[in-house]
Chain A
Amino acid sequence: MAMIKLENVNKNFGDLHVLKDVNLEVEEGEKLVIIGPSGSGKSTTVRCMNFLEVPSSGHVYINGTELTTKNKTKVIRDNTSMVFQQFNLYPHMTVLKNLTIGPIKLQHKPKKEAEELAYHYLDIVGLKDKADVYPTTLSGGQQQRIAIARALCSQSKIILFDEPTSALDPETIQEVLDVMIKLAKESITMVVVTHEMGFAKQVADRVIFMEDGQIIESGTPEHFFNNPESERVKQFLGKIIR
């Protein structure tokens, strides 16, 4: 059974038809990378997977359950986490609190257990010493690693990444990618919208290319980077891989 399934998903913003009949299945444990030019609907596609955007029509299934506006809070809580381009850490809480508020308030874990979990994941992202600082005192790359640790703390089966490195200084991109590469070895289902082709090559099980609200091509990274079918994909990759 697919972990995530989009069925004939359409999304309109006013007159703008952003997603056009998108069909997509992501298997459990699969690492899916979505690439494409800006405005192609990549972000909207992942945001439909946790109903940050509610599709105008079509169906979204998460772990076998159809997402509705009624059940979304519970289904999202139980199955998915998200890492954002702008990190979106909670600025009024320390790093530790950022990591534990979800597990304590949503998964009803005892505080001690939530903190142990938080330290465990802080260790994985290499920021165990930052537990007691406020996120805004950290660099972008550190904030994004904390955001990834926060996503991990909810122990969801699915983590959605919406351009996780696009807002970072070139120098700090690699530290975030390294953490994501480490994660990719786990059994978590990952959907990653990114422009980092190196990352796609290294960890993706499958890459899809989107343009104009549609999936134009889908395949393994080898297929994509060695002999893509469509001219458009060749042109796009030619421009971003130098």
Chain B
Amino acid sequence: MSGLLSPRAWNKIWTYRGTFLLGFANTLKTALVALLIALVLGIVFGLMATSGKKGLRTISRIYVEVIQNTPILLQMCFLYYALAFSGHSPGIIVTGFLALGIYTGAYMAEVIRAGIESVPKGQFEAAQAQGFGYAERMFYIIIPQSIKVILPPMTNVIVNMIKNTSCLYIVGGADLLSLTYSFVTGENTGGSYAPAYIVCGVIFFLICFPLSTFASMWESSLKKRDSKVFQNGRPKEA
């Protein structure tokens, strides 16, 4: 294990801590922008997937299946190199935003679709029979009921997205993992493999662990509350 027990190697990490902090900042920034893109895509395609119109459902299905059934590395390469060769190179940073956003959006769309479908059909009908239009129906009646089904798995999707920023390595990104790699292979900084990757891992863990713990605690507390509030049973489906 190269450098694991070497004080010199650990010292080097401390000296170059700025590199890791930069990687940390870049990863967070990429994740935040990609999250916004993913949320927009997820809401649009998630709503399309629950639409009464077959054409919209099909478009949403194609997006989700294509993205979920091809590797994210391929999608990043495709975006970066294909666009670069066609003369529209969006640059590494924008590639990161777009590729992660589009990839995560497909998972968001599935989470949102499942959330909306968890609301009994009678709720849609009651709202429709009262004269709520589509947007009002979703906003006042359906989304508030599906949010508790949506949020816990959505947090998991976000955790995965943060980890997936490391895939930007393939196009030479400036995310945490890519910078760590440059660090350990660098001319002046190279060699401290074990300490560098441990630090990188610890940083990822410190971002992701609280989020996923929060998600699972939230999920179980919602379940507990539900079993109390809904002890008389939700309206059965006819």
Contacts and interface: CB of A to CB of B under 8 A. Distances in A.
Interface in A87-122: 87-92, 101-102, 105-106
A136 B230 contact: yes
A226 interface: no
Contacts of A138: 232
Interface residues of B, number: 26
A105 B235 contact: no
Contacts of A105: 132, 136, 140
A88 B235 contact: yes
A61 interface: no
A134 B236 contact: no
Contacts of A50: 128-129
B122 A106 contact: no
Contacts of A90: 123, 126, 141, 145
Contacts of A167: 236
A68 B232 CA distance: 38
Interface stretch (A75-83, A202-210, A232-240): A75-83
Contacts of A45: none
Contacts of A187: none
Interface size classification for chain A: 20 to 34
A86 B131 contact: no
Given A92-B144, A137-B232, A74 B125 contact: no
A70 B131 CA distance: 13
A101 B122 CA distance: 17
B238 interface: yes
Contacts of A77: 130-132
A76 B140 contact: no
Interface in A35-62: 50, 52
Question: Which of the listed residues A76, A78, A80, A136 has the most CB atoms from chain B within 10 Å of its own CB?
Answer: A136
B134 to A, nearest CB: 8
B229 A106 contact: no
Nearest to A106: B131
Contacts of A101: 140
A190 B196 CA distance: 75
B227 to A, nearest CB: 11
Contacts of B120: 86, 88
A236 B49 CA distance: 44
A12 interface: no
B140 A87 contact: no
B119 to A, nearest CB: 10
Contact of B131 (A74, A87, A91, A137): A74
B201 interface: no
Contacts of A92: 144-145
28 contacts: A52-B125, A52-B128, A52-B129, A73-B128, A76-B128, A77-B130, A80-B129, A81-B129, A81-B130, A82-B126, A86-B235, A87-B235, A88-B120, A88-B126, A90-B145, A92-B144, A101-B140, A105-B140, A106-B132, A136-B231, A136-B233, A136-B234, A137-B232, A138-B232, A139-B232, A154-B131, A160-B129, A167-B236
